[in-house]
Amino acid sequence: MNIALIGYGKMGKAIEEIALQRGHTIALKIDIDTAAEFTKTNLNKCDVAIEFTGPHSAVQNILTCIDAGTPVVSGSTGWLDKWNEVKKECETKSGSFLYASNYSVGVNIFFELNKKLAALMSQHAEYDVSMTEIHHTQKKDAPSGTAITLAEQILENIDRKTKWVNEPSSKKDDLNIISERIDPAPGTHIIKYSSPIDDIEIIHTAHNRTGFATGAVLAAEFLINKKGIYSMKDVLGF
């Protein structure tokens, strides 16, 4: 398939490498230097777009692809306050859109483990739960989109936590997320349950961007010839 890469930074280059290995063609590369090429005409030459930019440009990039009728996979985070706008536009124009806060197969398995552990711990009030996420210093949003997904899963399962906060908090109903920015960390997420007796932790550590890139290409392959809004749960059959 012919792929448009919207965002050609480190993730874009990693996606390109995996896509070429899987026999696909990169028909369009959009970054700050080639923004003028981000047109409906060029998008119509592509079977699918993969969008990895940032929170301030993601929504317009996604809408541009939907308007062109090009299926779009997005991995940008930090823009979900505009989710309803994107959803409405996709539905109105019979678009094809797939979003995930993290495309790594391992992370999506981690999501399922997180939900299961939170459900088990919901009846054990002696355990307090907290989170830490570690990324490289170029990451523009905090907490990470993956951390927010994990936090929302915990809040859905543990009634004694009512909201997440991105800072240390002594309030018992706050779920603390500590964000650290350290190079060259591609991404680590830690969920910790602590009691006076013991601690229980689950940790996902990415060694490089390959897992994210592979998942994004798998998502693009999945989205071809489909209409509607999808997630990695659909891709992986969870």
Q: Do residues 113 and 199 share a domain?
A: yes
CATH number (domain holding residue 224): 3.40.50.720
Q: Do residues 67 and 142 share a domain?
A: no
Residue 130 CA to residue 36 CA, distance in Å, equals 44
Q: Do residues 57 and 112 share a domain?
A: no
Is 24 annotated in the active site? no
Q: Do residues 19 and 137 share a domain?
A: no
Q: Do residues 134 and 199 share a domain?
A: yes
pLDDT (0 to 100) of residue 226 = 96
pLDDT (0 to 100) of residue 216 = 97
- From the candidates 24, 135, 161, 189, give the one annotated as an active-site residue: 135
DSSP summary character for residue 22: T
| Lateral strand order in the sheet of 48-51 | 25-30, 2-6, 48-51, 72-74, 96-99, 228-230
Q: Do residues 146 and 93 share a domain?
A: no
Q: Do residues 11 and 85 share a domain?
A: yes
Q: What average pLDDT does this structure show over 197-213? A: 95
Given a cut of 80, whether residue 140 has pLDDT beyond it is no
Q: Do residues 201 and 220 share a domain?
A: no
- From the candidates 56, 93, 116, 139, give the one annotated as an active-site residue: 139
Is 88 annotated in the active site? no
Q: What average pLDDT does this structure show over 116-134? A: 97
Q: Do residues 228 and 175 share a domain?
A: no
Q: What average pLDDT does this structure show over 171-178? A: 96
Q: Do residues 75 and 130 share a domain?
A: no
CATH number (domain holding residue 194): 3.30.360.10
pLDDT (0 to 100) of residue 80 = 93
pLDDT, one tens digit per residue, over 72-108 is 999 998 899 999 999 999 999 999 999 998 899 999 9
Q: What average pLDDT does this structure show over 219-233? A: 96
Instruction: Tell me the average pLDDT of the chain.
Output: 95
Residue 84: domain span: 2-103+210-236
Please count the structural domains in the chain: 2
Report the candidate in 87, 202, 186 with the shortest Cα–Cα distance to residue 137.
186
Q: Do residues 8 and 85 share a domain?
A: yes
Q: What average pLDDT does this structure show over 43-49? A: 97
Q: Do residues 71 and 145 share a domain?
A: no
Question: What tokens does 96 get?
Answer: 């094809």
